[in-house]
Amino acid sequence: MPDLHRIITRDGAELHARWWGSGPPVVFIHGWAAQSDIWQYQTASLSDVARCIVYDKRGHGRSSDPGCGFDYDSLADDLARVLEALDVRDAVLVGHSMGPAEIVRYLQRHGSGRVSSVVLISSALPFILKTNDNPGGIDATIFADRRAAWTRDMPNFLAQNARSILLPATSNETVAWIARMGEAASLPALMAMNHTITETDLRPDTAAVSVPTLVIHGDADKSAPLDLTGKRVAAMIAGSELCVYDGAPHALIVTHASRLNDDLRDWIGRHMGPRTPNPIECVRGRSR
């Protein structure tokens, strides 16, 4: 049985955290409308080489919903509180979707003293809203229409969204499992975080990342298109490595778990203990 831990944040929210294994700490930060269970294929595979730590973000899963604190500063502070409460040092931070944004804001607010390296997967970075200086972004009306639809039938959206971030061959049971994670989240929290995801410009935070960074992205990602997100992130972070998974959708942590686990195992092995400034070759030469 895993250890269980309830971590109290600076504003009184309770975060549900768990961990397995021993060795270098790897902290997994899940995305919007998910929960820490989505990392089960990674924690089951990697707990023999690392201390795998997961937690549900506020308003999600088994964590509490304080009704506020859904901006990136607060979410980054929640991550800082998890690292402090568990006395995590020289950690590999692994984020999916919204998680990478929390990581880069954490580094901006709290520094890299507790971090050896980061892995940014299917990143909702660096800025996805269409503006005058970000003409390739997505128009704000699309997000506004989507949020309006959520107030009428959120379960239907979550079911359709779960299917869209997986593969056609993914089982109906897995699709339903992903959708249930969203149903367990607070709708006000999801709406507030959607504003955060779509309206926060993280280009300065992203460009300031100075720890070894692995960017993993699928070229079939519809939620965070590769050209808008992953490629830009890799270009902005000096010395980072970009690995593109052919045919992988947004939820590649599920659909491409075996390959991802191999890449994470390799990365963890190369970045155990104090961080090194030397860039590495992309795993199995799949950089683009």
**pLDDT for residue 271:** 80
pLDDT higher than threshold 80 for residue 283: no
- Going by their DSSP bridges, the two strands 14-20 and 51-55 should be labelled as antiparallel
Mean pLDDT over each residue of the chain, to the nearest integer: 93
What percentage of residues in the chain have a pLDDT greater than 70? 93
pLDDT higher than threshold 70 for residue 160: yes
Residue 221 falls in the annotated catalytic set: yes
Q: Say which amino acid occupies 10.
A: R
Helices (H), the chain: 40-46, 72-85, 99-110, 140-164, 172-183, 187-199, 203-207, 230-236, 252-255, 257-270
**pLDDT band, residue 279 (cuts 50/70/90):** very low
**Count of C-beta atoms within a 10 Å radius of residue 100:** 33
Q: What is the mean pLDDT of residues 205-219?
A: 98
**pLDDT for residue 143:** 96
**pLDDT band, residue 4 (cuts 50/70/90):** low
Residue of 36, 45, 74, 97 marked active site: 97
CB 150 within 8 A of CB 191: yes
**Helix, strand counts (H, E) of the chain:** 10, 8
- Nearest one of 178, 58, 204, 192 to 126, comparing CA atoms: 204
Convert the pLDDT of each residue in 117-148 to its tens digit.
Answer: 999 999 999 999 999 999 999 999 999 999 99
Q: What are the two backbone dihedrals, phi and then psi, of residue 20, each rounded to the nearest 5 degrees?
A: -140, 155
- Nearest one of 97, 93, 29 to 63, comparing CA atoms: 29
**pLDDT for residue 287:** 37
DSSP code string of 188-225? HHHHHHHHHHHH---HHHHHT--S-EEEEEETT-SSS-
In a 3-state reduction of DSSP, which class is residue 16?
strand
Residue 97 falls in the annotated catalytic set: yes
pLDDT higher than threshold 90 for residue 176: yes
**pLDDT for residue 277:** 37
Q: d(Cα 227, Cα 163) in Å, to the nearest integer? A: 22
Kindly state the tokens that stand for 160.
């359709």
Domains present along the chain, CATH in parentheses: 3-273 (3.40.50.1820)
**pLDDT for residue 5:** 87
**pLDDT for residue 220:** 98
**pLDDT band, residue 284 (cuts 50/70/90):** very low
Residue of 60, 96, 217, 250 marked active site: 250
More confident site: 273 or 196: 196
Residue 271 falls in the annotated catalytic set: no
Q: How far apart are the first and last CA of the chain?
A: 40
Q: What is the mean pLDDT of residues 65-76?
A: 97
**pLDDT for residue 113:** 97
Q: What is the mean pLDDT of residues 190-204?
A: 98
